[in-house]
Amino acid sequence: MNLAITGPTSGIGAETVKALNGKFDKIFLLARNKSKCQELIDELYPIGGNDKFEFIPLDLSSLDSVDNAAELLLSQAAPIHVLINNAGGIFPERLETKDGLEMTFAVNHLGHYLLTQKLLPLLEKANGAKIINVSSEAHKAAKPDFKDLQAEKAYKSFPAYANAKLFNILFTKSLAEKFSDKGIYAYSLHPGVVKTNFGNEFSGFFKWMIKLAQPFMIDAKKGAETSIYLALTPNLEKKSGAYFKKSKESKPSKLAESKRYREMLWEKSEEIIEKRQAL
C-alpha cells in the first residue's frame, strides 16, 4: 500500500508519518524542504538503507509546483491508497501567490484541490482509496463571500483561515459525491487545538492569545490521531464525506452541509484552474 502526504515535515504531519511508517510500503513526502524530509527519514531510520520514502517537491502556493508534483507521481504509475492533504497555514497579512491568488485560499484549499484532481487516476487505481483532508473547528466561524474568494475587498487572517477550513469540508463532501462510485472515498477532520509552530508569524494580540491558550492545547502526537484512525480503519466507505473529531464522526456547521455551497466552491475552483490554463 502507498501513502502520499502534504506537510509531512513538522507538527501533526510528521507525527502522522511516524505512526503510519510501518503500515505502508511506499510513502511519498510532498513538501517544500528536502532537507527537513531527510531529517524525518533519518529519525526513523538512523542507519539509512531505507527506500520506502520519496521526496516530492511541492509548494502549494504555486499551481505550477502542484502540477509538477502530480506529474512526478503520475509518471511512476504507482497506485495511491491514501492521500492525506495535511498542509495548511494562517497568514497575518494578505499575501498574493505568483498566480495572483490570496495565500490562505491557495495553500489551504486550491493547491490541494488541484493536486487531488490530478491524482485521481492513481487513487482510482488503488480500488478503495481514501482522501483525508485536515480541516478545523475554525470552519464554524466561516462566512465566505463567493464573489470575493481572494479577499480583495477586505482581509482578516482568522476569517480567511476559517473560510479555507470550511472549503476543506465542502471539498470533501464533493469528492464523496462525485467519486465514491469509482472506489475513492473522502473524509475531513478536526485534529484538535494543537500546540505546534502554527501562528508563529503573528505578533501582538493574536500571538498573545495563542500563548495564553497553549496550556490547554494538545501535542502534535495527539493531534495526529484522527488522521491515523482514518488512514488505517477499514470499512469506512459508508462514512465517505463525513467530518471527524477525536476519531469519531462529528457534525460540522450548517454551511459545511450546504450542497449549494459545495457546488459553488467546486465551480469557482474549476474556473480559476481553467483560466490559468488558458493563459
Annotated catalytic residues are: 161
Per-residue cell: 51: 527506500
Residue 23 to residue 1: CA distance in whole angstroms: 8
Give dist(CA 45, CA 53) in Å, integer.
11
Cell of 87: 498542509
Give the number of other Cβ atoms within 10 Å of residue 50's Cβ. Answer: 11
Name, in order, each residue with C-beta under 8 angstroms of 203's C-beta and a sequence gap of 6 or more. Answer: 92
DSSP H or E stretch at residue 113: helix 111-126
User: Going by C-beta distance under 8 Å and a sequence separation of 6 or more, which residues neighbour residue 274?
Assistant: none
Q: Is 27 in a helix, a strand, or coil?
A: strand
Residue 16 and residue 8 in contact, taking contact as beta carbons nearer than 8 Å? yes
Measure the CA–CA gap between 171 and 259, rounded to whole angstroms.
Answer: 11
Q: Are 198 and 191 in contact (CB under 8 A)?
A: no
CA distance 246 to 251: 12
Q: Which residues of 51-84 are buried (b: 16+ CB within 10 A; e: fewer)?
A: eebbbbebbbbbbebbeebbebbeeeebbbbbbb
